[in-house]
Structure 1
Amino acid sequence: MNPIVVFSHKPSVGLLNIDTMELLWLQRVQEKHAIFSRIESGFDYYYLNDILIIPDPRKTIPCLEKAFYLGDLKVDCEGEYILFFNFKLIENIIFAESLSLPSYKFIKDNIRSER
């Protein structure tokens, strides 16, 4: 059985803009924010250490399909951005919570494009 992902209330999130490779810090993201509406129908995810990585599941037109690396982890994305949270695994639940400042710095220092 695959774990389910639940999100904390108003998490702060890292967002990597695929076009510009700019990493943004979105603070206290509301439940009705566009990033949550785009992933409510389902999404793929990756994880590295305690960082949960969610590529935008909505394909762009034309498709910007690109590969990125965070350390040695390859992350594929067909959308406009990649989201980053910290997480805890509690039994069969991935509890996604606010991205910590050390994790944000780690991502900023280690994310790279395959281009």
Structure 2
Amino acid sequence: MSTTTTNTVTASSPAPSLKVIKNGFGAEITGLDFANGVTDEGYRFIDDAVKKHGFAIVRKTKLVDETHLELARKFGELDDVTPYNKAGRVHRLKYNELFDVGNIDVDGSIVDLSAPRAQANKA
């Protein structure tokens, strides 16, 4: 059973909506627009959903790297990922606070399974 709630975040943006995935376990949020920065209200909407439902899937927010970091910092101090860049791994993202857990190499190709990065990802 799922339910949908709508709350107003700012007068200038459409109200975000929350759809419960499974009662007490997960919610999907739509209608947040972070193209012009992260509002305290938008952050609180996500934070409240996570606290109530355990996790939140937030779709179509227009986040870019800078606003992604802005939102993440509202949740607390960010990790330094430089110690994880081992085995000759080059960080392909603009900011060290954004951690790349995928299997895409700096040039955009899929990492070869025998490459040092692939081996480091197994750890």
TM-score by length of 2: 0.27
Q: Which has the higher contact order (CA 8 A, sep 6+)?
A: 1
More strand by share: 1
Q: Which structure has greater helix proportion?
A: 2
The structure having more radius of gyration, on CA atoms, is: 2
